[in-house]
Chain A
Amino acid sequence: MGAQFVFFVSAMVALAMLVAFAILLLRRWYQERRKRAEKDNLTAITRSYMRRVSGQADNEASAKWSDELKLEAVSHIHLLLRGGERQRLMQMAELDGLLRATLRKSESWRSARRIDAIRLLQQFGSEACIARLREIFARDRNKAVRLEAAFALAAVHALPPPRETIRILGMFERKINRLDKALFRASAPHYSEELALLLEDDISHDHRALIIDALGWSEDPDVLPLLRKASRMNHAELRSAALRAAGQLGVPTVEPWVLERLRDPVEFVRIQAVNCCAALGLHGAIPHLRLLLEDEAFWVRLRAEHALEVLEEQWPDHEQPRLRA
């Protein structure tokens, strides 16, 4: 009886898998047969949209074209268009009802499907899409989906103020990762004042460092006094973040306090200071960097050597033989 059962179960497993495979094989074969016709349709849809975008009459449109195929064509064309043309294309896609299916998909019970929908909404980027993205960002039950929505909002420059982002994603209640850094950096050009205000809150050094780092992406020279202040704080991570931000901002007036940090007692702060000198092309740093070629820390020597290579290329009159790291 037992042996019979085992044989039966084995046979059933094999049969079930074989049937599933056969169905998929047939589906693939059928899709391949239709490929030619679909390709022709896709070309026609693309042509039709291109005509409409450029304001020409479109006599080719067919009611037989599926929304799925139209969406595929729009996804492809939108990568090729810029500015007003892209906006018009997205408007037309919305008017053609292509957004409806995506909005429906964004309410799916499966988080993977909702994430797929978010990517499409980001592509469309219209006001309706942004509104839906905000809703998902604020209310979705899954953290990964909310994070995806946050990135989509950042990509369309519609990320909410940092305090909201922090609250919704629970950023300050867990360890920071590089994605948090990316989000903060993305929001910095729009919310540099809010970020500066956040620094006044009672938050951990790691979170403070995250904000200081993001200020470097603000494109706002008004944050420089904050960075200078941070570069003299007790916590090494804050000094390091200030140097990273200064390097990114690209304003050479930071030279005095960046050079100061080349003598910082903490190795990774010195490394950041060296990187900052190279990024800003600080001519005055060359003699200091030469001294760092004999720093006790290997990584400092290495970065100093690299920075000197960069700077000496920019300022060839300083060319001198130097030690290897």
Chain B
Amino acid sequence: MTWADLQLAAANAVLFLAFGCFLVVAARNGISLLQLIVAGWVFATRTKPGRNAVELWNRYGDLAFPVSVIAPAFNEELSIVDSVKALLALEYPHHEVIVVNDGSKDDTLGALIRGFEMEPYEREQIAELQTTKILGTYRSRRFPNLFVVDKENGRKADAANAGIGFARTPLVCVIDADSIIERDGLLRAAEPFMHDDGRLIAVGGTIRIANGCEIEGGALRKIGVDKKLVPRFQVVEYLRAFLSSRVANAHTDTLLLISGAFGMFRRDVLIEIGGYRHDTVGEDLELVVRMHRYMLEQKRDYAIKFVPDIVCWTEAPVNLAGIKGQRSRWQQGALETLQRHRRMIFNPRYGRIGMIGMPQLILEDIIGPPAEVIGYLVVPAAVLLGILDPMMALAFLGVTVLFGTGLSFGSLVLEEIQLRRLQSARDLYRIGEAALLENFGFRQMNLIYRLRGIRSFWRNDTKWEAVPRIGFDQAS
């Protein structure tokens, strides 16, 4: 082989890579645009929820399924009493709060005992789904619907499983202990179960970033927008994910993820499938994929739905260091789920999940991030080497930065027309500003973090990186 042949082969390889990356990025964006259009249609044709929970309460009060809210808590000594008070105050006809102290190193349990006059109480566990030891169970003298489980540390999945095992209600709502649930969030999430004829097994809802909001006593007082850019970028990301992607996926019966911060499930189905898995860092995604797989393999008629209304607020990492760990973990979790359920991919036996949902996950989480990163490097290099039309570089810029910006603004348009939860034009402007700026640096950093997640997956890294958060008191 001559030097010229080598040069030609290298040029062809670079061209092939450049076009490949371009096609992958274009496909991702094409899907996102489709999702935005579907979500727009869903929002335009949906029945807007009533003005307040009173309507829902009046209608469904005596028909609402009892719900157990399961809140795994780890080292939450400072905030747990406020959080639990807010959970007890949720507007719902019959709900029980099960707090699972997951081997906290601080005095979380003591705070609960003092705050709610807890006393030891023996209660039979219906299903033992956890792998660690239960150290004690407590009930409150003041609040008959509060129950606390104290157990050895075993991470969130294990703690949630312990709580599910103690739940006695037909529905369970698994949340993060620091999630701030909307006062009528449980009612909203339980509403699809009222219309259901027995098929519905799980419901997810929209989650929003609480950074910048006024939080008092574990409850949301005033919606606001953080002054820092990193939380604002995440507001845009959440809007895109929840208002566009998940609404569209739920509409097409391909919803694969119900966020760990808030998810409502039928208890019997959770127990049948053994609860959350302990050996993955993406237990929320894995759970929903496994639910699909289980129901489809059992040939049972089922549905998983999503309510576009905001049901929960969560604190986002305030800096890039926090995002790095979170995004790596999400990426690793997605890859672990895909590996574990790989036989579902392009398998017609699994219907839309196998033919649409899983391939979409591959495009999003396996091929997409590296393709875009490689594209950023290869496309300009190819142009500089003179083997690629400069117009092609512009087109790549178009499908990444311009198209991405368009999609972000599209989600903001949906928020403003349909939900309108941002309090002022100023807040709306600040989120718009973030939607524009996130494409210049933040988006690319995110891709790097995701590549880090891919590396952790290959290394079979089981280390759990806690996401540093500063707490609502400091944030607000």
Q: CA A186 – CA B403 in complex, angstroms?
A: 52
From A151, A177, A324, give the contact of B196 (CB < 8 A): A177
Q: Is the CB of B406 within 8 A of A144?
A: no
B63 surroundings in chain A (CB, below 8 A):
178-179, 181-182
The yes or no answer to B7 lying at the interface (CB within 8 A) is: no
Looking at A4, A175, A178, A324, the one whose CB has the most chain B CB atoms below 10 A away is A178
B33 surroundings in chain A (CB, below 8 A):
13
Q: Is the CB of B429 within 8 A of A144?
A: no
The yes or no answer to A148 lying at the interface (CB within 8 A) is: yes
B155 surroundings in chain A (CB, below 8 A):
none
A18 surroundings in chain B (CB, below 8 A):
405-406, 409
A116 surroundings in chain B (CB, below 8 A):
48
A185 surroundings in chain B (CB, below 8 A):
62
Q: A18-B406, A112-B46, A181-B63 are in contact. Are A24 and B197 (CB under 8 A)?
A: no
The yes or no answer to A322 lying at the interface (CB within 8 A) is: no
Q: Is the CB of A182 within 8 A of B395?
A: no
Q: Is the CB of A177 within 8 A of B432?
A: no
B45 surroundings in chain A (CB, below 8 A):
110-112
Q: CA A111 – CA B44 in complex, angstroms?
A: 10
Tell me the A144-189 residues at the B interface (CB within 8 Å): 144, 148, 151, 155, 174-179, 181-182, 185
Q: A112-B47, A175-B197, A176-B197 are in contact. Are A24 and B417 (CB under 8 A)?
A: yes
Looking at A7, A20, A175, the one whose CB has the most chain B CB atoms below 10 A away is A7
- A320 nearest CB across to chain B (Å): 18
- A149 nearest CB across to chain B (Å): 12
Name the interface size band of chain A: 35 or more
Q: CA A15 – CA B436 in complex, angstroms?
A: 12
Tell me the B389-442 residues at the A interface (CB within 8 Å): 389, 391-392, 394-395, 397-399, 402-403, 405-410, 412-413, 416-417, 424-425, 428-429, 432, 435
Number of A-B contacts (CB under 8 A): 124
Q: Is the CB of A32 within 8 A of B425?
A: yes
Q: Is the CB of A177 within 8 A of B122?
A: no
Q: Is the CB of B48 within 8 A of A10?
A: no
- A137 nearest CB across to chain B (Å): 16
- A29 nearest CB across to chain B (Å): 4
A15 surroundings in chain B (CB, below 8 A):
406
The yes or no answer to A6 lying at the interface (CB within 8 A) is: yes
Q: A177-B197, A298-B124 are in contact. Are A13 and B47 (CB under 8 A)?
A: no
From A3, A13, A144, give the contact of B402 (CB < 8 A): A13
Q: Is the CB of B389 within 8 A of A10?
A: no
The yes or no answer to A308 lying at the interface (CB within 8 A) is: no
- A207 nearest CB across to chain B (Å): 13
A32 surroundings in chain B (CB, below 8 A):
424-425
- B397 nearest CB across to chain A (Å): 8
- B34 nearest CB across to chain A (Å): 12
Q: A24-B417, A28-B425, A177-B194 are in contact. Are A3 and B389 (CB under 8 A)?
A: yes
Q: CA A11 – CA B60 in complex, angstroms?
A: 48
- A174 nearest CB across to chain B (Å): 7
From A2, A8, A25, A325, give the contact of B432 (CB < 8 A): A25
The yes or no answer to A101 lying at the interface (CB within 8 A) is: no
Nearest-CB residue, chain A, relative to B45: A112
Nearest-CB residue, chain A, relative to B124: A325
The yes or no answer to A65 lying at the interface (CB within 8 A) is: no
Q: A3-B391, A178-B63, A298-B124 are in contact. Are A10 and B413 (CB under 8 A)?
A: no
Nearest-CB residue, chain A, relative to B435: A21
Nearest-CB residue, chain B, relative to A32: B425
B48 surroundings in chain A (CB, below 8 A):
112, 115-116
A-B contact pairs, 10 of them (CB 8 A): A4-B395, A6-B399, A7-B391, A14-B406, A116-B48, A178-B194, A179-B194, A181-B63, A182-B194, A302-B168
Using CB atoms and an 8 Å cutoff, list the residues of chain A in contact with chain B: 2-4, 6-11, 13-18, 20-21, 24-25, 28-29, 32, 110-112, 115-116, 119, 144, 148, 151, 155, 174-179, 181-182, 185, 298, 302, 324-325
Task: Identify 20 new A-B residue pairs, CB closer than 8 A, beyond the known A14-B405, A20-B410, A115-B48.
Answer: A6-B398, A7-B394, A10-B395, A10-B399, A10-B402, A10-B403, A10-B406, A14-B406, A18-B406, A21-B416, A28-B416, A32-B425, A112-B47, A177-B194, A177-B197, A179-B63, A182-B59, A182-B60, A182-B62, A182-B194
